[in-house]
Amino acid sequence: MRDRMAGSKVTIYQVAARAGVSAATVSRVLNGARVSAESERLVRAAAAELAFTPNRTARRLRRQYSEVIALIIPDVENPFFTALARGVENRARAGGFSVVLCNTDDDPARESTYIDIALAEHMAGVILAPADGASDVSRLLARKCPVVAVDRSLNRPDIDAVTVDNRAGGLSAAESLFADGFSRVACITGPSSVETAQLRMEGWRQAGERHGAGGDGLLRYADYRVDGGRAAMAELLALREPPDAAVVANNLMAAGALDALRDAGLTPHAFGLAVFGDLPFASFERQGIRVVDLPARELGEAAASLLLDRIAGDDGPARTVVLRTDRTLKEKQ
């Protein structure tokens, strides 16, 4: 563990010696400062011959800055977040940045650890898909490290955020069910402490009021996970007056809810279902389920763009980008 990586390490000084110039000049060539054509030629030749790669650690220490951004997400195994990650990566890569993916498992302590690491590693910025509960970004702000919240805002007007119009999505999801003749439309949403869960539910509630539907008796809070969705749906189906349709606030809970429906001998045709976000390989849409489109990749791209602007020095007031959720209207099959 001590003398790891002891192999050939070419430093800027060796390049300088070979080119017959000073280290400063080598650095200037590498960073595009003014240098004579002759020096540049010599340096480039020497660097190529020695296969020189600048030591990023040293550069970072000096510059107090690195071209790496941290993406902190609650669950690498959730397709929504991996699609989001891909969006971030695409955009970041185009801007010359690398992305470090940090998985918190919805654990605030792990989230906090990763924030510390991002700071200690001099990362250029942080994109945070907040874990359950209140995330503490104050340390980042104190060090002027750019942060963008994605998917969920942090309820802080001073921080950039990229979200979708969750309330509108909830509203149109429920409306679409009412429009198709369902009358008892339930809602299975996420933890009440989570902003997206709250907003999606409010959209549903608003539609319910318009149609004089049953109200909060058909509302269930679950945990945004498969098992929670299954349990909530089972509970709803066991009611004396069960619903005939439901809005489910995320993809994983919908997978569970679908299981519960099957267990009860129901199909997505008999029982209306509208879901926030699809699943790859198990497309809800192809099963004839209404899907509120969550543009995960676009969320990631937008968040990365915002962050890159900040890193480039933009210090205007915080912006909140809200992407549209275009509910898929067609019920296929």
Partner DNA sequence: GAAGTCTAAGAAATCGATTTCGTCAAGACC
Partner DNA sequence: GGTCTTGACGAAATCGATTTCTTAGACTTC
> What is the rounded CA–CA span in Å between residue 60 and residue 322?
34
Burial class of residue 273 in the structure, from the number of CB atoms within 10 Å of its CB (0-12 exposed, 13-18 middle, 19+ buried):
buried
Number of neighbouring beta carbons within 10 Å of residue 333: 10
Give yes or no for a contact between 276 and 80, defined as CB atoms under 8 angstroms apart: no
Q: In the complex, what is the shortest distance from the CB of residue 25 to DNA, in angstroms, rounded to a whole number?
A: 4
Q: What span, in angstroms and rounded, lies between the C-alpha atoms of 281 and 260?
A: 20
Considering CB under 7 A, how many residues would be counted as binding DNA?
A: 31
Count Cβ atoms within 10 A of the Cβ of residue 191 and give its class: 0-12 exposed, 13-18 middle, 19 or more buried.
middle
Place of tokens 């940045």: 97
Contacts of residue 1, Cβ cutoff 8 Å, sequence gap at least 6: none
Question: Least distance in Å: CB of 78 to a second copy?
Answer: 9
- Is 58 among the residues that bind DNA (CB under 7 A)? yes
The single residue among 34, 144, 240, 330 that binds DNA, judged by CB under 7 A, is: 34
At 54 the three-state DSSP class reads coil
The tokens of 269 are what? 């045709």
Residue 311 touches which of a second copy, DNA, none (Cβ within 5-8 Å per kind):
a second copy
- 183 in contact with DNA (CB under 7 A): no
Task: Please report how close the Cβ of residue 145 comes to DNA at its closest, in angstroms.
Answer: 14
Among 30, 101, 266, 323, binds DNA (CB under 7 A): 30
Among 25, 78, 251, 328, binds DNA (CB under 7 A): 25
Interface with DNA (CB under 7 A), residue from 41, 49, 55, 94: 55
Length of the chain: 333
Of the two residues 20 and 133, which places its CB atom closer to DNA in the complex?
20
**Which token pair is 210?**
């318009």
**Using CB under 8 A as the criterion, what x/- string covers residues 299-328 for binding a second copy?**
------------xxx---------------
Between 31 and 98, CB nearer to DNA: 31
Q: Considering the complex, state which of residue 193 and residue 283 has its C-beta at the smaller distance from a second copy.
A: 283
| Least distance CB 210 / DNA (angstroms) | 58
Would you tell me which residues interact with DNA (CB under 7 A)? 2, 9-13, 20-28, 30-31, 34-36, 38-39, 52, 54-55, 58-59, 61-64
